[in-house]
Structure 1
Amino acid sequence: MFHFTDALSRLIADIGQRVPGLAHVRPERTLVFARRGRTGADGPNATCHCLTLPTSEPGYYFWADADTGAITRRSPWFVTRSPEVVVHGTPVEYMISVGLPRFADQVGRRKLERYAGLPPWVVRLDTVVHELYHIAPDATGLRQLARADGTLDQRTHPPRFFDDVRDLVLAYLETAPSADVLEVVRHDFATLQARHGHVVGTTFRDGTYPQRYVHVLDTQPSDPDVRVDPFKDTPGRAAFTEADLVMRDFSRAQRRLVPVCAA
């Protein structure tokens, strides 16, 4: 059995130890989890989820008359918050999610052009470093890069971002990491399954995972002239623990779930 997310966590820890530019990444506060992601389907191969973003300013949704522009009804006032994720007593600040088997099967020929002479599996290592580079050095949110004039670039992926990621990948490879640590990115899904029989990973129950949620303010402003419609659905969850984690078998022949504590 190959535990994909555990192997990816080991790789992340090794990268942080070997590459000074990513030394701020704290593996013990970075949760790696897998989600379903079919090879060839649309969707990201991996995503960095930040749990340290501050609470938003209060706001509300509203509906207005098309002719007059007057507000006819609105939602309650609310703020959005990052959920609290605590695993075995340790708060989680960032999460890295990977789509399986899509992450393991990515080709990325355009990305590979940035790594002339290197094997195709380097594109998977690039994806891992890419997501880690999103983590702000001060752990307060997602990284922002400065422009030449010193102002912050509001784009998530300015051109310099990809250049920096490439340099970090090459710096890591220059340290000669072990083949065992690199196994999680060196092989596609079919190879991992053939070598180990089953490919499993930590994931969240019921296909859900921690996301920004809506918190309705306890004190609502009085607005007698506008109808207030309460939220029909639960705005989201405020807290997650290890009890919300399970181990999923992502092998094509079997996709069973077992509690993580039993793995």
Structure 2
Amino acid sequence: MFHLTDALSGLVADITQRVPALAHVRPERTLLFARRGRTGADGPNATCHCLTLPTSEPGYYFWADALTGTITRRSPWFVTKSPQVVMHGTPIDYMISVALPRFSDQVSRRKLDRYVDTGLPPWVVRLDTIVHELYHIAPDASGLRRLARADGSIDHRTHPPQFFDDVRDLVCSYLDTAPSADVLEVVRHDFATLQARHGSVVATTFRDGSYPQRYVDVLADQPVAPAVLVEPFKEAPGRALFTEADLVVRDFSRAPALVPVCAA
């Protein structure tokens, strides 16, 4: 079998060793996991999830009269928090999720056009995706990267044009170091080819299809204002802690099947 997220973790470690601009990324504190995503369907091929964002300021949701604007009811006061993810005692700062098999089958003319003058093969779009997510990681691990404009001000857009140019340069810099074919196998082949070569394609994922996300934490001490009807939250509160016990290995090349991840 081919363990795709293990292979991607090896690729990430190799990239961070070979590309100085990404040397701040700590592979041991960056978790790669997979989610289901159909080939050809809308949605991201991969996503960078930041777990270092601070707790929000207290607040509440409210409903107001459409005519007067008067608040008629509200939620309890709450804050939002990032959950803790700890793998075998090591805190995780960032996670990168890949949608399978969509990540391995992606075809992007727009991405390929960025590499038209390099002579690189079409599989470079998959490598571009991984470098793209790594580039989101801020050098000080404080959150997601923000680029500076020409005047020195911060561009608060997630993907300004310079972001894509920088990713292209980083991809080319990495390939210029001549990484091994074994390390690149995970991005050189589409899903069907990986399956044909190895029999099955498995990946680490979170049990029950859920994954750590920011959650609402209701304040124990509730301010009294505004004094209107308080609607309690109907959804269960989010989880504050995830560990290796929440991970499973799924065979993405067949019907869903879960196998517990063995402790290291």
Smaller-chain TM-score range?
over 0.9
- The reply to whether residue 113 of structure 1 matches residue 113 of structure 2 is yes
Q: Give the 5 Å matches for 1:10-25.
A: 10-25=10-25
Q: Secondary structure at the match of 1:32?
A: strand
Q: Secondary structure at the match of 1:232?
A: coil
Q: Which residue of 1 aligns with 2:218?
A: 216
Larger displacement relative to structure 2 (235-244 or 174-183): 235-244
Q: In the aligned structure 1, how far is the partner of 2:175 from the partner of 2:57?
A: 43
2:208 equivalent among 194, 206, 209: 206
Query: Once the two structures are superposed, what CA deviation does each residue of 1:75-124 show, in whole Å capped at 9, x if it has no partner?
Result: 00111010000010000000000000000000111111111211000000
Matches of 2:124 and 2:85 in 1, distance apart?
31
Deviations for 1:43-70, whole angstroms, at most 9, x for unmatched residues?
1000000000011111100000111111
Give the superposition deviation at 1:186. 0.1
Which residue identity does 1:77 align to in structure 2? W
Give the match's secondary structure for 2:85: strand
Structure-1 residue corresponding to 2:195: 193
Q: Which stretches of structure 1, 4 residues or longer, exceed 2 Å deviation after superposition? A: none
Q: 1:164 to 1:150 in 2, by over 3 A?
A: same
Quote the sequence identity (%). 82
Q: Which residue of 2 aligns with 1:255?
A: 256
Aligned twin of 1:79: 79
Partner of 1:183: 185
**8 Å contact from structure 2 (residues 244, 263) kept in 1:** no
Paired position in structure 2 for 1:29: 29
What residue number does 1:146 align with?
Answer: 148
Amino acid in the other structure paired with 1:207: G
| Structure 2 Cα separation of the partners of residues 154 and 73 of structure 1 | 33
Question: Structure 2: how far apart are the matches of 1:255 and 1:236?
Answer: 25
The two structures have a TM-score, normalised by structure 2, of 0.97
| Structure 1 residue matching 2:179: 3-state secondary structure | coil
Residue in 1 aligned with 2:241?
Answer: 239
Deviation of 1:262 after TM superposition, in Å, equals 7.5
Counterpart CA distance in 2 for 1:238 and 1:8 is: 27
Question: How many residues matched?
Answer: 262
Please give the secondary structure, in 1, of the residue aligned with 2:178: coil
* Structure-2 separation of matches of 1:170 and 1:219: 54
Quote the Cα distance in structure 2 between the aligned partners of 1:163 and 1:222: 51
Return the offset for 1:235: 2.8
| TM-score normalised per structure 1 | 0.98
